[in-house]
Amino acid sequence: MLERNDLWNLIKFSMEQDLSKITFQTFVEPAKPLQLDNSQMTIEVPTNLHRDYWEKNLAAKFTDLAMQATNEQIRPVMITEEEHQQLTKDSQVTTGNVAAGQSANATTPTFMRETKLNPKYTFDTFVIGKGNQMAHAAALVVSEEPGSMYNPLFFYGGVGLGKTHLMHAIGNKLLESDPTRNVKYVTSESFTNELINAIQTKKQEAFREEYRNVDLLLVDDIQFFANKEATQEEFFHTFNALYEENKQIVLTSDRLPNEIPQLQDRLVSRFKWGLSVDITPPDLETRIAILRNKADLEGITIPDDTLSYIAGQIDSNVRELEGALARVQAYSRLNNSPITTSLVADALKSLHLNSKLSEVSIPVIQEKVAKYFHVTVAELKGKKRNKQIVIPRQIAMYLSRELTDSSLPRIGNEFGGKDHTTVIHAYDKIEAALKTDTEMQKSVGDLKGQLKA
Ligand SMILES: Nc1ncnc2c1ncn2[C@@H]1O[C@H](COP(=O)(O)OP(=O)(O)OP(=O)(O)O)[C@@H](O)[C@H]1O
């Protein structure tokens, strides 16, 4: 399935060709896609008049274009800006959910994240490569002997590298061998929201029952436990209850437990009791294998050299790789032409993959930062920890993450083989300093100006 924005951009592009300029500018340009799930796209428009026009004149065209692009029936659901604001307010009141990014803008279909396991995320569909070999092996062991070897099993690493996939694979495998097992998958955000609901509706006992009676608990993205005292307190007790009963716990995060801000020490130490394994970005061969696997599963015909071309363009994460393939597939359908390397180049052009990378590279950033602070590039890549070097090094890492598409491990590598968590730490530090420290604002502003010039 294409990502919401990707599909929207393709449809918008086709509408622009078909509609008069004035109709396009009046009704399509101000529309905003909010959410895409399997059968509908929710689209926000400024007024009732826009909504009526869409429903009467554009909805059918939208569905046709979406069908051409994805081969699926997707209907547009129009809401006005005012209705959207009201809905967002209502959902905050009922769920206590005020965290950014959890409104109707969420792009992940809720059925995958919050209620059940995604049946597509199995060991069979997971491609093993250097960066995930150990994680895969540990996941397999845990799915065969839950609660005995590695408890908890903790996966960490950058976004879109397969942590959730492996976690679901454990659950799916366990249920396949014994459908009576009680498996619960939850994101840390849903855990928090369910807890808040339970407190508000005085159903804490039921909440505890539900969580403490599982055979396998899968909690995704636990970095969002950061700073959430009540959630951490509750989770601590859930963890203990399950652990004592030898029930398996699997956790994922974008960083190691001790790097999650304000995570209680007692949780950090418990999370380290079992096995922590990192997942690093796939190398070129693995990326090609993932694409080939995906293309086969979807029945897409695509030549080998074209697959290699896509894999060479996108080295950051697997989700983007899959998004690129979906985009290419949609582009080929809309243009009614077979997938070739030149079609792929056209389809991916608007992602500006090369221009972003070639405009600013990590060595250029290192050179500019070193010059600005009168240190050497070797010192930035080295291990010295005095303030005169540490701050420029952290700024250079921050800028590398902001201005290039490089993955965290790749940035770490370019800085003398440092761990990706060091890059996260540097980024967080500079980001926090930029909020209050005027000297930092000036240095980073100057450097950005120089780099973009
Ligand atoms: N090795 C792999 N083989 C096949 N598919 C993969 C592999 N790694 C990742 N994917 C696919 O990439 C997509 C993103 O993976 P996933 O959601 O598991 O990432 P994640 O590490 O949990 O990211 P996030 O931190 O954003 O939650 C999924 O569709 C998943 O199936």
Q: How far is the CA of 106 from the centre of ligand 1 (A)?
A: 17
User: What is the reported pLDDT for 298?
Assistant: 86
Q: How far is the CA of 81 from the centre of ligand 1 (A)?
A: 33
pLDDT higher than 60, residue 178: yes
Q: Are 214 and 117 in contact (CB under 8 A)?
A: no
Q: How far is the CA of 157 from the centre of ligand 1 (A)?
A: 11
Cβ of 215 less than 6 Å from ligand 1:
no
Cβ of 163 less than 6 Å from ligand 1:
yes
Cβ of 164 less than 6 Å from ligand 1:
yes
Cβ of 160 less than 6 Å from ligand 1:
yes
**Where do the DSSP E strands lie in 2-110?**
32-36, 40-45, 75-80
Cβ of 221 less than 6 Å from ligand 1:
yes
- The tens digit of pLDDT for each residue in 324-352 reads 998 898 888 888 889 998 888 888 876 65
Closest C-alpha to ligand 1, atom 31 = 165
- The tens digit of pLDDT for each residue in 357-399 reads 446 789 999 999 999 999 999 999 999 999 899 999 999 999 9
Closest C-alpha to ligand 1, atom 4 = 126
Question: Please, what is the end-to-end C-alpha distance for the chain in angstroms?
Answer: 38
User: Own/partner pairs for 15-18, CB < 8 Å, 24+ apart?
Assistant: 15/58, 15/61, 15/62, 15/65, 18/61
Closest C-alpha to ligand 1, atom 25 = 159
Contacts (Cβ under 8 Å, ≥6 apart) of 249? 151, 152, 153, 216, 217, 219, 239, 242, 243, 274
Determine the Cα–Cα distance for residues 439 and 116; give it in Å rounded to an integer. Answer: 49
Q: Are 296 and 325 in contact (CB under 8 A)?
A: no
Q: Are 232 and 263 in contact (CB under 8 A)?
A: yes
Determine the Cα–Cα distance for residues 325 and 303; give it in Å rounded to an integer. Answer: 13
ipTM of the complex: 0.98
CA-based nearest residue to 143, from 169, 120, 170, 121: 170
Closest C-alpha to ligand 1, atom 1 = 127
Nearest-atom number in ligand 1 for the CA of 132 is 1
pTM across the whole model: 0.66
- List the structure tokens of 133: 């070999």
Give the rounded distance of the alpha carbon of 215 from its chain centre.
27
Quick one: pLDDT band at residue 38, thresholds 50, 70, 90? low
Q: Is 412 strand, coil or helix? A: helix
